[in-house]
Structure 1
């Protein structure tokens, strides 16, 4: 896992943490009631969401949401790190399996 990858996710968390209701309502048009409903899901599934922040396309919005709804910083940071480590392990094993099965013929 690169430190930059993890720190990038934590930057998204910090940006979310710095957010406020007025900015969200002004720039997105989403009402506070709808965001508050979403908050329940983020708080309930926060650790699971944090683990999947490595997913392309949805990982960054997840980290911003985790910060915005003030999930615990250290637990969130550690779970994000574990998710990113798991991604590299799985991808590494997939590549190793492809190489060992002669999938790549040179």
Structure 2
């Protein structure tokens, strides 16, 4: 544990980091950490929800930024999405528009949507607002279910 940080602050920082990384293409599970911290009971639920949401949205902003810059590399072998994956994400995004970002928390599809939003030049303000709503709702429902479950 870093010097000067108590267990409470370490929990919040860990949740922020995991939520941030989970929103990128890295396979992380912020939901499990959120539930674990809630069950442990040393953190305020609203604080945990805020930290998880902000971290996850900021991770999605990284994807959006990559989308702005990534198209020039789409024919490289290391490119993270296949042409068919990009085509599916673009069709989904074209069909449902910016409101499809409400499901940016879905595994696999969500990452592709946030990158696609950057590729298709979704304005940052609307991206952050819509992604923020979707991710806050997801964490809110998870917290509610957890609180009901632990009584």
Tell me the distance in 2 between the aligned counterparts of 1:30 and 1:56: 19
Give the structure 1 partner of residue 83 of structure 2.
30
**Residue 65 in 1 paired to residue 139 in 2?**
no
Partner SS, residue 107 of structure 2:
coil
Cα deviation, 1:61-98, whole Å, max 9, x if unaligned, reads 22111111112221111000001110111011101221
- Candidates 129, 141, 146, aligned match of 1:78: 129
Q: How does the TM-score come out when normalised to structure 1?
A: 0.72
What is the distance in 2 between the residues matched to 1:38 and 1:50? Answer: 11
What SS class does the counterpart of residue 63 from structure 2 fall into? helix
Provide the rounded CA distance (Å) in 2 between the counterparts of 1:39 and 1:58: 11
- Unaligned stretches of 5+ residues in structure 2: 1-49
Where structure 1 has 5 or more consecutive residues not aligned to the other structure, the ranges are 101-106
Q: Distance in 1 between matches of 2:90 and 2:113?
A: 12
Distance 1:38 1:63, change over 3 A: closer
Deviations 1:9-43 (A, max 9, x none): 101000001122x4213436738xx84x8635313
Instruction: Output the CA distance in 2 between the equivalents of 1:38 and 1:57.
Output: 10
Shift >6 Å, 4+ stretches? none
SS in 1 for 2:75: helix
Moved more, 75-84 or 22-31: 22-31
User: Which structure has more RCO (C-alpha within 8 Å, separation ≥ 6)?
Assistant: 1
Q: d(CA) in 1 for partners of 2:113 and 2:133?
A: 15
